[in-house]
Chain A
């Protein structure tokens, strides 16, 4: 019969190692859970497709880029929805069928590119600026200034 008294106590390094392994397992499980909730890029009920989006946080601003091929540049609308959520909508140059993208098992039409991006830090939503070049939309949002601690 083994007893706790007879066991060697774990070193700090071993405990840290176990903790790191547990953390890795948890993050993998989280990733799997996220993957399980995947959905297609296209939404035929709303006739839209979601662009690839990338959010980066710089010291003074948040830069959101979206890959928006085949949209009419003059129709791009960028709109703050909440304090930390921004919505982008643009019309496609022509309505696309899923079969145009190699998806043949569903019918419908894609007329818009539409996305919502969550901003990870506080920003001045009213000061939003954007440019569209080479089919990439670049949105810039200045970060809210922090009050320095005395």
Chain B
């Protein structure tokens, strides 16, 4: 089971780093944010993930093949992202592999970036960021940075599992979610989440370019969004709208 997804390191990776995860989800918030982060911080590819559960594709960059799920890093930061929609069947093994690998690398903190769909997104100029944590002490990071805590409800998808698996192993992890469109790519939400990530990490991330190129990014993200939506439907993602039952 553990071998369904393998991480192949291209160079030695120092332990004790912070890991940021951006997998395709509602609004493609995490994927857009991590791609922008990698470019802005000039991170290099240090590892990639291999699995027969992923679609049989090679992502071409500069005419050369790459895995769709890769790990970039530098300066004490590792960024995991997937350029293609993660099939619903691969979500659990992939999430488990990410957590196991982070555990083997003694990750200082795992921060997953995602979106939380809101029906009135068009009326919101600056999306708010909410969060959840794997441990009570990690929750304090959210409170310290004025991130609204998702006190109750249901999370669906890889971030939900990453958070649960991290809790099982007592690993510090956060999920940051920005208000976003459910069915459309949302670079504004990605900018909002990057601003909060920068605050938590204490680094500078200029999101001006992301906002300026928002329309172009939305057009380019169209097909990944479409495929992601199909997988989200298979994961019953709409459960996130459900009212939690507490008696």
What is A's interface to B at a CB cutoff of 8 Å? 41, 49, 51-52, 54, 65, 67, 69-70, 96, 101-102, 133-136, 138
**B215 in complex: contacting residue of A41, A54, A70, CB < 8 Å:** A70
Taken residue by residue from 200 to 230, chain B's Cβ proximity to chain A (1 for < 8 Å, 0 otherwise) reads as: 0000000000000011101110110110000
B122 pairs with A134, CB closer than 8 A: yes
Q: When the two chains form their complex, are residues B122 and A133 in contact, meaning their CB atoms are under 8 A apart?
A: yes
Closest to A54 in B: B183
Known: A65-B184, A67-B222. 15 other contacts (CB 8 A): A52-B183, A52-B184, A52-B222, A54-B184, A67-B181, A67-B184, A67-B218, A70-B215, A70-B219, A96-B219, A133-B122, A134-B121, A135-B215, A136-B122, A138-B122
**Nearest Cβ distance between residue B213 and chain A, in whole angstroms?**
10
Does residue B185 face the partner (Cβ distance < 8 Å to A)?
Answer: yes
Chain B residues near A54 (CB-CB < 8 A)? 182-184
List the A side residues contacting B121 at CB < 8 Å: 134
Contact call A41/B122, Cβ cutoff below 8 A = no
Distance (whole angstroms) from the CB of B60 to the closest CB of chain A: 10
Q: Which 6 residue pairs of A and B lie closest in terms of their CB atoms, listed nearest first?
A: A69-B215, A67-B184, A69-B218, A54-B183, A70-B215, A133-B122
For B218, what are the chain A residues with a Cβ–Cβ distance below 8 Å? 67, 69, 135
B215 and chain A: residue at smallest CB distance: A69
> Which residue of chain A has its CB nearest to the CB of B217?
A69
What is the CA–CA distance of A134 and B214 in the complex, to the nearest angstrom?
Answer: 10
Residue of B122, B215, B220, B225 touching A52 (CB-CB under 8 A):
B225
Report yes or no: A102 in contact with B220, Cβ–Cβ below 8 A. yes
A101 and B184 contact, Cβ closer than 8 Å, known pairs A134-B122, A136-B122: no
Contact between chains at B219 and A69 (CB < 8 Å): yes
B32 to chain A, nearest CB (A): 13
Give Cα A54 to B214, complex, Å.
20
CA–CA, A41 and B227, complex, Å:
12
Which of B184, B214, B215 counts the most A-chain CB atoms under 10 A from its CB? B184
Cα A149 to Cα B220 in complex, Å, equals 50
Query: Inside 8 A of A70's CB, which chain B residues have their CB?
Result: 215-216, 219
Can you give 23 contacting A-B residue pairs, CB < 8 Å? A41-B223, A49-B219, A49-B222, A51-B222, A52-B183, A54-B183, A54-B184, A67-B181, A67-B183, A67-B184, A67-B185, A67-B218, A67-B222, A69-B219, A70-B215, A70-B216, A101-B219, A134-B121, A135-B215, A135-B218, A136-B122, A136-B184, A138-B122
Cβ contacts under 8 Å, B215 to chain A: 69-70, 135
For residue B219, which residues in chain A have a CB less than 8 angstroms away from its CB?
49, 69-70, 96, 101
- Give the residue name and chain of the B residue nearest to A50 (CB): B222
For A136, the chain B residues whose CB sits under 8 A away are: 122, 181, 184
Q: Known: A69-B215, A70-B215, A136-B184. Contact between A101 and B122, CB under 8 A?
A: no
Q: How far is the CB of A87 from chain B (nearest CB, A)?
A: 19
Q: Which residues of B contact A101 (CB under 8 A)?
A: 219-220
Q: Name the interface residues of B41-57: CB closer than 8 Å to any CB of A.
A: none
Cα A101 to Cα B222 with chains together (Å): 10
Complex Cα gap A135–B220 (Å): 14
User: CA A71 – CA B222 in complex, angstroms?
Assistant: 15
Q: Determine how close the nearest CB of chain A comes to the CB of B110; give it in whole angstroms.
A: 30
Distance between Cα atoms of A31 and B126 in the complex (Å):
37
